[in-house]
Protein backbone atom coordinates (compact mmCIF):
# COMPACT_ATOMS: atom_id res chain seq x y z
CA UNK A 1 0.00 0.00 0.00
CA UNK A 2 1.01 3.63 -0.36
CA UNK A 3 0.91 4.00 3.42
CA UNK A 4 3.37 1.15 3.96
CA UNK A 5 5.70 2.37 1.22
CA UNK A 6 5.81 5.83 2.83
CA UNK A 7 6.34 4.35 6.30
CA UNK A 8 9.33 2.34 5.03
CA UNK A 9 10.81 5.51 3.54
CA UNK A 10 10.48 7.33 6.87
CA UNK A 11 11.58 4.35 8.98
CA UNK A 12 13.74 2.02 6.89
CA UNK A 13 13.95 -0.59 9.67
CA UNK A 14 10.15 -0.90 9.85
CA UNK A 15 10.31 -3.98 7.61
CA UNK A 16 13.36 -6.21 8.18
CA UNK A 17 14.86 -7.95 5.15
CA UNK A 18 13.56 -11.36 6.21
CA UNK A 19 9.97 -10.02 6.27
CA UNK A 20 10.44 -8.57 2.78
CA UNK A 21 11.77 -11.97 1.64
CA UNK A 22 8.70 -13.70 3.11
CA UNK A 23 6.32 -11.26 1.38
CA UNK A 24 8.16 -11.64 -1.92
CA UNK A 25 8.13 -15.45 -1.73
CA UNK A 26 4.41 -15.61 -0.96
CA UNK A 27 2.90 -12.76 -2.99
CA UNK A 28 2.07 -14.80 -6.10
CA UNK A 29 0.09 -17.25 -3.95
CA UNK A 30 -1.90 -14.71 -1.93
CA UNK A 31 -4.61 -12.14 -2.44
CA UNK A 32 -3.28 -10.21 0.52
CA UNK A 33 -0.90 -10.30 3.49
CA UNK A 34 -0.55 -8.30 6.66
CA UNK A 35 1.56 -8.29 9.81
CA UNK A 36 0.16 -8.20 13.33
CA UNK A 37 2.15 -8.01 16.53
CA UNK A 38 5.64 -6.68 17.03
CA UNK A 39 8.97 -7.14 18.73
CA UNK A 40 10.14 -10.36 17.13
CA UNK A 41 6.97 -12.29 17.81
CA UNK A 42 3.96 -11.70 15.71
CA UNK A 43 1.76 -13.03 12.98
CA UNK A 44 1.65 -12.80 9.22
CA UNK A 45 -1.94 -13.10 8.10
CA UNK A 46 -2.51 -14.40 4.57
CA UNK A 47 -5.48 -14.87 2.30
CA UNK A 48 -4.37 -17.49 -0.20
CA UNK A 49 -5.60 -17.86 -3.74
CA UNK A 50 -5.95 -21.62 -3.32
CA UNK A 51 -7.91 -23.29 -0.51
CA UNK A 52 -6.12 -25.72 1.81
CA UNK A 53 -2.73 -24.29 0.84
CA UNK A 54 -1.06 -24.35 4.26
CA UNK A 55 1.36 -27.18 3.43
CA UNK A 56 2.71 -25.31 0.41
CA UNK A 57 2.94 -22.05 2.39
CA UNK A 58 4.95 -23.90 5.04
CA UNK A 59 7.27 -25.36 2.40
CA UNK A 60 7.84 -21.95 0.83
CA UNK A 61 8.64 -20.37 4.20
CA UNK A 62 10.91 -23.29 5.18
CA UNK A 63 12.94 -22.75 2.02
CA UNK A 64 13.89 -19.21 3.12
CA UNK A 65 17.22 -18.85 4.93
CA UNK A 66 16.76 -18.37 8.67
CA UNK A 67 12.97 -18.56 8.54
CA UNK A 68 11.34 -20.52 11.33
CA UNK A 69 7.60 -20.17 11.02
CA UNK A 70 4.60 -22.25 11.87
CA UNK A 71 1.51 -22.22 9.70
CA UNK A 72 -1.97 -22.27 11.19
CA UNK A 73 -5.03 -22.85 9.05
CA UNK A 74 -8.25 -20.94 9.45
CA UNK A 75 -11.28 -20.46 7.26
CA UNK A 76 -13.64 -17.62 6.51
CA UNK A 77 -17.29 -18.65 6.64
CA UNK A 78 -18.80 -17.07 3.55
CA UNK A 79 -22.38 -18.15 4.31
- In this structure, the number of other CB atoms found within 10 A of the CB of residue 56 comes to 14
Q: What is the pLDDT of residues 32-64, one digit of tens each?
A: 998 887 666 778 899 999 988 999 999 999 999
Query: Residue 59 to residues 8, 18, 30, 36, 76: CA-CA distances in angstroms?
Result: 28, 16, 15, 22, 23
pTM: predicted TM-score of the whole model, two decimal places:
0.76
The band of 26, judged by pLDDT with boundaries at 50, 70 and 90, is very high
Q: What is the pLDDT of residue 57?
A: 93
Amino acid sequence: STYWAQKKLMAPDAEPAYITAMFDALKEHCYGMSLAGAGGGGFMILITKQPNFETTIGEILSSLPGCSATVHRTEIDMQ
